[in-house]
Amino acid sequence: MKLQTAHPSGWALFEAQAHHDERGWLAETFRLEALRAHAGGEVQIVQQNVSTSRRGVLRGLHYQVERPQGKLLQVMHGRVHDVIVDLRRASPHFGRCFAFELRAEALQLLWVPPEFAHGFLALEDATVLYSLTQPRIASAERAIRWNSPELGIDWPLEGRQPVLSGRDAAAPSFGDADI
């Protein structure tokens, strides 16, 4: 996995290097040394999750207040509009949103540092793999409303309403969130 783009706030976009031949291809999608070179020497993956979403499903913006999770994300199938928000109050990027279009065929991996909120809109049916630096703690999970006016996220909804979970629909705005 090769570093493609990095930002001073800590996020990074990696690209898996594919090796093609007549049988198909093989790609190295994770190398701990490459992640640690960017994110810090102590980063360790402790849990993996996979989600599937139909086109139009919007998940997020999610984060964990206790033992914040760093996330390495890869779209395994489909295409998503991915958004992360810096929640570190001392950061010069606090409250800033970063958006990416991640596609399975691009073999990209997005590193989301701890203390960032994360969400995505499935632009087509999608499967997303999450590699996490901390285990899930249900009591520490929080969410920020996807259309929080303070964030001004430009979701490519094309005039449709997103499909939301009850939790995401009821999430507080950025200004009222437990950060």
Check residue 125 and give its pLDDT: 98
- Take residue 137 and report the two structure tokens written for it: 């703690």
Q: Please tell me the predicted confidence (pLDDT) of residue 162.
A: 97
Q: Report pLDDT for 168.
A: 97
- Tell me if residue 169 falls in helix, strand or coil: helix
Which of 38, 62, 63, 93 is flagged as catalytic? 62
Q: What is the pLDDT of residue 5?
A: 87
Task: Give the model's pLDDT for residue 40.
Answer: 76
Contact 147, 155 (CB under 8 A): yes
Instruction: Select from 129, 136, 117 the least CA-distant residue to 46.
Output: 136
Q: Report the alpha-carbon distance of residue 39 to residue 98 in Å, rounded.
A: 17
Active site residue: 7, 38, 77, 130, which one?
130
Low-confidence stretches of the chain (pLDDT < 70) are: none
- Specify whether 130 is catalytic: yes
In this structure, are residues 121 and 157 in contact, taking their beta carbons and an 8 Å threshold?
Answer: yes
62 is catalytic: yes
